[in-house]
Amino acid sequence: MKIMTFTGSKGGVGKTTILFNYAAWLAQNNYRVLLIDGDFQANLSSTFQTITNENTLLDVFLGGTPEIRNVASNIDLLPASPNLDKVEGLIQNKMYREYLLMEWMRKNADTINQYDFVMIDTHPEFGLLTKNMIAVSDAVIVPLEPSEYGFQQLKTQFELRMAEYREDSIDPRSGKSDIDAKVYFIGNKIQHNTSESRTFREILSEMDNVIGLFNYREVMKKALTLKQAVVDMPDEKLRQYHGYKEHLEEQFAHMTERIQND
Ligand SMILES: Nc1ncnc2c1ncn2[C@@H]1O[C@H](COP(=O)(O)OP(=O)(O)O)[C@@H](O)[C@H]1O
Ligand SMILES: [Mg+2]
């Protein structure tokens, strides 16, 4: 079982889009997937028609009764609550406040261990909630998008924050950090005809922790609005996006191999 968190310091880069499409691909390939929506905007939850205040991820942090729902074949979901943005204030004074999700997962290990992959979506900030997600993760996946200067700065900023968090989480008895997660980057929204995208692709292809490069295509926008993953779309819908489904499948297979083997 592998736990991965999609995060990063910026919204709109494609975290939810890639996670949703990747989950559908994993499910098609007979992997059992648990989705955890950690963004109070609840985009992932709404993709599965599950907007609710009841029995959500918030209950994990407040000692309530979170409920995992089956939302598709091989896909279960622990939805976000729109009130999740208030959680940081509520848990701030708790002991082990960065390990509350870990504690819940340990207590529910029988359930959690049934999945092949747990995939966590986040709101773009490096707060207590995201730290809880990273603390349980094997892989932290940060999508980047082409921009003249921005993406390198975001990447460096994220790496610094991770280093700080690892440092802060060193167990004084063992001298080892409690944060084991590996950081991976993904290039998203790559266009074939812009110099920004060309530079972006060149820089990313020289990094050894980039595990996927995703081309820009309008059909990715449709996936979230139609609540249907590209890999689940019928051939007629995909005709004008020739080769894009195969492109996604190739990237997802590559990501899976890296995450499973590292
Ligand atoms: N590869 C892509 N090609 C085209 N549009 C994309 C791609 N990836 C994401 N998008 C679009 O970008 C927007 C932001 O994506 P989203 O997944 O909501 O970002 P985040 O979760 O990081 O805030 C959405 O409109 C989505 O459809
Ligand atoms: Mg999102």
Question: What is the model's pLDDT at position 148?
Answer: 65
Cα of 239 from ligand 1 centre, angstroms: 21
Ligand 1 atom closest to 11 (CA): 23
For 109-125, what is each residue's pLDDT tens digit?
999 999 999 999 999 99
With pLDDT > 90 as the criterion, what percentage of the chain qualifies? Answer: 95
Beta bridge partners of 3: 118
Q: Strand ranges (DSSP E) for 39-167?
A: 69-72, 75-78, 117-122, 139-144
Cα of 14 from ligand 1 centre, angstroms: 4
Measured between alpha carbons, how far is 182 from 138 in angstroms, rounded to an integer? 6
For 158-182, what is each residue's pLDDT tens digit?
999 999 999 999 999 999 999 999 9
Q: Which amino acid is at 157?
A: Q
Q: Which ligand lies nearest to the CA atom of residue 8 in the structure?
A: 1
Q: What is the mean pLDDT of residues 56-82?
A: 97
Question: What is the model's pLDDT at position 162?
Answer: 97
| 228-244 burial code (b ≥16 CB/10 A, e <16) | bbbbbbeeeebeebeeb
The more confident residue out of 107 and 148 is 107
Instruction: Give the chain's domain count.
Output: 1
How many other C-beta atoms are found inside a 10 Å radius of the C-beta of residue 176?
Answer: 11
Question: What is the model's pLDDT at position 42?
Answer: 97
With pLDDT > 70 as the criterion, what percentage of the chain qualifies? Answer: 99
Cα of 80 from ligand 2 centre, angstroms: 12
Residue 188's domain spans which residues? 2-261
Q: Is 117 in a helix, a strand, or coil?
A: strand
Q: Would you say 191 and 146 are in contact if contact means Cβ atoms under 8 Å apart?
A: yes
Ligand 1 atom closest to 221 (CA): 27
Res. 67: pLDDT tops 80: yes
Mutational test site, ligand 1, from 6, 19, 125, 221, max ligand atoms within 8 Å of CB:
221
Res. 143: pLDDT tops 80: yes
For residue 147, what pLDDT band results from cuts at 50, 70 and 90?
Answer: confident
Cα of 230 from ligand 1 centre, angstroms: 13
Q: What is the mean pLDDT of residues 66-79?
A: 98
Tell me, what DSSP letter sits at residue 34? E
Res. 87: pLDDT tops 80: yes
Res. 133: pLDDT tops 90: yes
Tell the residue nearest (CA) to atom 27 of ligand 1: 221
Q: Would you say 59 and 145 are in contact if contact means Cβ atoms under 8 Å apart?
A: no
Tell the residue nearest (CA) to atom 11 of ligand 1: 221
Ligand 1 atom closest to 188 (CA): 1
**What's the mean pLDDT when you consider all of the chain?**
96
Q: Strand ranges (DSSP E) for the chain?
A: 2-6, 33-38, 69-72, 75-78, 117-122, 139-144, 182-190, 210-215
Question: What is the model's pLDDT at position 166?
Answer: 97
- pTM (2 d.p.): 0.97
For 10-46, what is each residue's pLDDT tens digit?
899 999 999 999 999 999 999 999 999 999 999 999 9
Residues with CB under 6 A from ligand 1: 11-17, 43, 188-189, 214, 216-217, 220-221, 224
Question: The domain that contains 88 carries what CATH number?
Answer: 3.40.50.300
Q: Would you say 62 and 92 are in contact if contact means Cβ atoms under 8 Å apart?
A: no
Question: What is the model's pLDDT at position 150?
Answer: 83
Question: What is the model's pLDDT at position 9?
Answer: 75
Mutational test site, ligand 1, from 6, 220, 225, max ligand atoms within 8 Å of CB:
220
